[in-house]
Each structure stands twice: as C-alpha cells, then as structure tokens.
Structure 1
Amino acid sequence: MMRSNCGASHNPRFLFSPVMFNAFVDTRLKRQCFPPKLPCECPRPMKYKDSTASLDTARKILKVNHAGEFGAINIYRSQIFVSRLLRKDYVPLLESFMEDEKRHMNRFWEEIQRRNGIKCKSYWLCGAGGWFMGFISALLGKSGVMACTWAVESVVVSHLKNQLSYLESRNDLAAYETVQSILEDEENHRDTGRVEGGSALLYGPFRWMIGLFTEGVIRFGMR
C-alpha cells in the first residue's frame, strides 16, 4: 500500500530544513533580516570618486586622514590617562600605538603643506570625539579599550584600502605612497585590538556605535 507524503509536513526536521526555509523566506526579506556583516559590526565604508567641488578628492583624503590621526592620538591620550589610574599593565602598548599615530599625522601634514593645504573642517571634531571615545572605553577596562581600537581601526583600514584604489586610478603617486605608508601600522592596531579582548560579544553594541561614529566623521570630512 502506498504511503502518503502529507505526514512529512509534521516532521520537525522537514519543517526546519534549509530547503523549506529558502522556500518560505523571500530573498529580499533575507537580505533585510540577515544583512552581511563586516568585521566588528562596522558600517560599510564609502566609495571614493572624483569631487565636484573646488577641492579635489586626493586633497580631501589627505586632510581627512590627517584629522583622523589627530582623533586617534586623542583616543590614546585619554585611554592612557585613565589607564594609569586604573590599570597600568597595557599603558606601554597604548603609548606605542599613539607614537605610530603621531608619525602618521606628521606624514599627512607634510603632504598637505606641500600642496598648500589647510586642516580639515573635521579636525577638532575628530579630536573631541576621539578624547570622549577614549575616556569611555578606558572606563570599561582593557576589553573596552581593545574593542574601541578594533572598531576604529576596522573602519580606518577599509577606508585606506578604498583610498588606495582611487589614488592608484588617478596616478597620484605622492598621495598614494602617503596613505600606503600607514596601512601596515593600522592593520596591526586593528588585529591587536581584536586578539587582546576587543572581540568579546558583550562589546558588540559598543563596537557598532564606535564604528558608526568613525564612519560618520570620515564622510563629513569628505563632503
């Protein structure tokens, strides 16, 4: 006697199989509910294109990066200040990161001055925002500090790679080499932040907020 397949619908394995899931959930809905995540829950970085304003994109990139380095310096300054009061064991690491950022900022400023440029409009916003982020993250302890580092540098590294692609397409060798010179350091900061405790699930919302602010400031500076 033939058996009916209708009973298959009462089988839990059948109901929750990947085949049934794909059958009942529209592709568009899946994209809305389960969007692809970047490392560290950070927003997608902007794409770089030719500017329609009087200031060309390469100059904007240099100015925004210079302001970003000022912000990073203030993050580490604030973290070092608080960490010296609470926990001193990771202060040397933060100091080494800050020295990297100072060197980066000077490199960008040299190229900006060579092009007779001035500081970015987001310079002081980066400084104030950086100090505040550093202070809050340091109060959360080492994991908070490393989560902040991972979040910021994940956004920064993504932007640097997009910037390099744009500058290479425009044959701006000086700007390209300036951006390229800091990429390895920033990747090291990012990876250290992740490995040293920044990837803790508890800090997911914090990383997302830090990444969103970092992305927003960069976009503001590029306008």
Structure 2
Amino acid sequence: MTAQPPAEEPMTYVVEIDLPDGGLPTFRDWYANVHAPHLYEAGFTTCTSYRAVRGRLGIVDVYQAPGWSVFESPAFARYRRVAAADPHLPPFMVGLASIRTPYVGVPGGGAAEPLAADWLTVLRFEGADGALEAVAAWLQGGGQPLLAGWGIERARLLTRTRPAPTGTSAHPSAALLLESRRDPGDGLPGGAPAVLRHAPGPHFTGSRLYPWPDDAALQDGPNR
C-alpha cells in the first residue's frame, strides 16, 4: 500500500499596509478588479480586505489557502510574474512597506471556515510558555459563548508558521481573529485570559471593504 502524504494545514495569510492619504478609492478598485482575481487564480480560496477603525496600519488583507503548498505551486509562480508586470498597479503601491504573516490554525480553532465577516478584530500575543494552550482551553471551555454574548460570531485561534516568501513579519507567535457584524468596541469581556487582555498593542479592528465599504448601518458603534 502506498503511504499517503500528510494532510496540509489550512493557511491564513495576513498582509498589512498603510495607504497614503486619498489612496483608498484607487486601492479598492485595483484590489477588487485586479489583485483579488489574480490571487484566486494563484490558488487562494478567500481574498478579503479590511479598513482600520483602530490599529497601527490602515489596511489588513486576509487570504486563505488549503495549505503552504499554494506558495510552491506553478499557479503562484505565474501570479508573481503577472504581479511584477501589473500595468494597473497604483503607483503609490510600488515599494510600499508591508507586514506579511502566514498562520495555521490551532486544532479546534475554526481556521478552516471561509472568512466573510463584516468586522474583524486581530489580537496578537506571544503564545510561548503555555499561553497558546491556555487561550485554546478558554475558547473550548466557555470562551466562545462568552464572546458570542459580546457580539463575536466566530473566534479563530492561529499560530505563525514559516516566513512568507514575499515578505517579513515581526509579530508575536499567535493571533486571535474575532469576527462580528458590528464594531465590537475596545477591550474584551471579563473572564478572558490575561494574555489576551494585556497583550501589547496596537491591535486591529476594521470593517470589510467589500461589498459595502461605507454602509452607515455597519458604522453604528459597538455591538453589545
């Protein structure tokens, strides 16, 4: 019997950038009409973008793929060639600094589900010395319902994997992605592990650019 290769771990790839003043409309059109289609062709299964309400950088893009092999595929190599010669790339994107962090999900952390939240919060923390396991145990032992009462529809617990072939990151080793329909506001509900409540910021909270970037109903404050 031929041994089967081990199953890949679904990957969540987070890319952060800061746009120049007035650059958002141009970026939004390019992302939707050029960049995201290219990435789908490269093998990513989800391509979505969030505009910061709070956070250090103005834009957080989240991409999902079946596994690390997406970076090693002929389709991704073709994408890189196409992207390098993209005639539609906004001039201000050339040489723009970015932070690129690939993650895999912690078992039971929900990382494989397609991401389609209207609002996204990213909490980053150092997962060493049992901290990652403590957050995982909290989520499985009552944290998920507690977050749901705070307006969070899904929480994804992630840990960093290998450095991306297209850029670098100095973020801590773990992240918790919180998905909601409205701005959840600052902070976390009582009972959250100290490693989350006291994680060094700045964290990120933002609303999805597509398909309703400026819907007033999605900008009406905390969902509590």
The TM-score normalised by the length of structure 1 is 0.23
Bigger helix share: 1
Bigger strand share: 2
Q: Answer with 1 or 2: which has the greater Rg.
A: 1
The TM-score normalised by the length of structure 2 is 0.23
